């Protein structure tokens, strides 16, 4: 199946399989739409190292230039670097070419506005309307945009991370770190950042060629090589990046992948110490561990709809001290309102150093917790029926209807079911003290959904 119908379109951008749904024709069309949406101006463009990236970036630049937009190409770089560069270069917008944690045959366009934040739902819908209408601004030969290049974007970004960290404390600890960059956008710079932070570094999968040796999503089942390397090198911690450098997972000194939810919990524990006021912000599907962090530091915790931009806009509005998502995406407002796994590494190392703890000790400071994440296929026209059935079934429980249905079972457990923004499915997530209990909650909700849509 080809064309716009087979693309995944959501608040985070446009994704597809290269040569099937994501073609040069479509890339040019979305580029023309974005240039028209911005009414010209300057657009920063960067990409991850997937083999398809060169094709996509050239099609993208051509479409932007045709609308009178000028382009600053920052080359292969992490997505947060691109977002920093939009602000640093006073651009009108930016486009990150990356399919993030998706396999190598995927690629995507993620659109940023002038503050380096991804388009929100309403802005993304406006852009999509421009695309569908097809009335793109086409400039004559003497009014086309121009292309420039910026080779300093990564250094500027990493310098900010270094300047924000307690390098003295980290250097005194001198941690041994194994970093798995999955041959992605962070592969050319993660090792250098860690060394400048005072770490002894072992780097694996550190060639930025886009040939992923594992599934690039940094979840425990994909981190066997990293776990083995941490044990082999007697390291203090292991870090796993995703393909574009915005999500991070942690492996303990015992060589155990502790789960991506701990990334935000650890980082938030450090961010909450930094200034006197401001809440912590995360989404509805993130672990209750961030609530524990809030209690420790007497911080209010606010929850938004799922999606990076939803968290970011809440953080901006509430002047948050820190935030992020439980998929390993840490947002440090002292640096920029974007998910940034370089910032996450610095925060976590700083927390270990100032607390004098191991990863295992830090993790054990939180109450026992287990999260199960699942999905149910559901045609778009039946999601309302499914959500209504869940509301009725759990009507005696405390319920949050901000997005889908979130059900609370006292302080012991919670369940969240919501329609996906990009796929014909309902995502079901549950957290409890034990994995078996969380699994049972997910299974019950999935049965209710399946009965409702049968």
Contact 340, 279 (CB under 8 A): no
- Name the strand (E) or helix (H) holding 291: helix 289-296
Q: Where are the beta strands (DSSP E) in 77-233?
A: 93-97, 106-112, 147-149, 176-180, 200-204
**Residues identified as active-site:** 100
Distance CA 100, CA 13 (A): 11
The first and second tokens of residue 180, run together, are: 């798995």
Backbone angles phi, psi at 368, to 5 degrees: -55, 135
3-state secondary structure string, 320-367?
CCEEEECCCEEECCCCCCCECHHHHHHHHHHHHHHHCCCHHHHHHCCC
Pairing of strands 176-180, 398-400: unpaired
Give the residue from 333, 422, 341 showing the smallest Cα distance to 115.
333
Name the one residue in this structure whose structure tokens are 């079972």.
Answer: 409
Contact 311, 353 (CB under 8 A): no
- Name the strand (E) or helix (H) holding 413: strand 413-419
Q: Where are the beta strands (DSSP E) in 41-92?
A: 42-47, 70-76
3-state secondary structure string, 27-45?
HHHHHHHHHHHHCCCEEEE
Residue 162, SS3 per DSSP: helix
Tell me the residue length of the chain: 454
Cβ density class 178-200: b for 16+ within 10 Å, e for less: bbbbbbbbbbbbbbebbebbbbe
Helix 79-88 with 341-355: angle, nearest 10 deg: 100
Give the residue from 179, 146, 131 showing the smallest Cα distance to 13.
131
Give the residue from 353, 351, 355 showing the smallest Cα distance to 330.
351
- Name the strand (E) or helix (H) holding 88: helix 79-88
Sign of the dihedral through C-alpha 69, 74, 79, 83: negative
């Amino acid at each position: 199946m080809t064309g716009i119908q087979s693309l995944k379109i959501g608040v985070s951008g446009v994704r597809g399989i290269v040569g099937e749904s994501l073609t040069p024709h479509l890339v040019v069309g979305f580029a023309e739409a974005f240039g028209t949406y911005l009414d010209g101006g300057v657009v920063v463009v960067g990409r991850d190292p997937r083999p398809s990236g060169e094709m996509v970036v050239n099609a993208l630049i051509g479409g932007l230039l045709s609308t009178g937009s000028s382009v600053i190409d920052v080359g292969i770089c992490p997505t947060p670097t691109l977002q920093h560069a939009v602000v640093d270069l006073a651009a009108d917008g930016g486009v990150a070419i990356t399919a993030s944690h998706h396999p190598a045959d995927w690629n995507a366009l993620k659109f940023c506005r002038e503050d380096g934040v991804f388009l929100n739902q309403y802005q993304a819908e406006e852009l999509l309307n421009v695309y569908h209408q097809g009335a793109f601004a086409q400039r004559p030969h003497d009014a086309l945009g121009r292309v420039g290049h910026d080779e300093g974007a990564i250094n500027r970004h990493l310098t900010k991370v270094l300047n924000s960290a307690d390098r003295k404390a980290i250097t005194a600890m001198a941690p041994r770190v194994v970093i798995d960059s999955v041959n992605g956008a962070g592969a050319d710079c993660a090792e250098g950042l860690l060394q400048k932070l005072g770490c002894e570094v072992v780097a694996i999968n550190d060639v930025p060629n886009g040939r992923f040796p594992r599934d690039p999503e940094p979840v425990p089942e994909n981190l066997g090589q990293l776990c083995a390397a941490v044990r082999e090198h007697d390291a203090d911690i292991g870090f796993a990046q995703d393909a574009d450098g915005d999500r991070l997972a942690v492996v303990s000194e015992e060589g155990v992948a502790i789960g991506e939810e701990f990334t935000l919990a650890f980082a938030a524990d450090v961010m909450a110490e930094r200034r006197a006021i401001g809440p912590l912000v995360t989404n509805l599907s993130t672990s209750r561990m961030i609530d524990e962090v809030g209690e420790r530091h007497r911080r209010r915790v606010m929850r938004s709809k799922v999606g990076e931009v939803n968290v970011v806009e809440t953080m901006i509005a509430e002047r948050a001290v820190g935030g992020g998502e439980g998929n390993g995406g840490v947002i440090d407002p002292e640096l920029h309102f974007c998910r940034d796994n370089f910032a996450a590494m610095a925060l976590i190392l700083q927390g270990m150093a100032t607390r004098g703890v191991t990863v295992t000790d830090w993790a054990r400071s939180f109450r026992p917790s287990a999260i199960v994440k699942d999905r149910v296929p559901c045609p778009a026209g039946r999601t309302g029926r499914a959500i209504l059935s869940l509301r009725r079934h759990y009507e005696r429980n405390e319920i949050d209807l901000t997005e889908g249905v979130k059900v609370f079972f006292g302080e012991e457990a919670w369940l969240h079911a919501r329609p996906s923004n990009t796929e014909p499915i309902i995502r079901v997530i549950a957290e409890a003290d034990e994995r078996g209990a969380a699994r049972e909650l997910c299974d019950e909700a999935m049965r209710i959904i399946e009965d409702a849509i049968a």
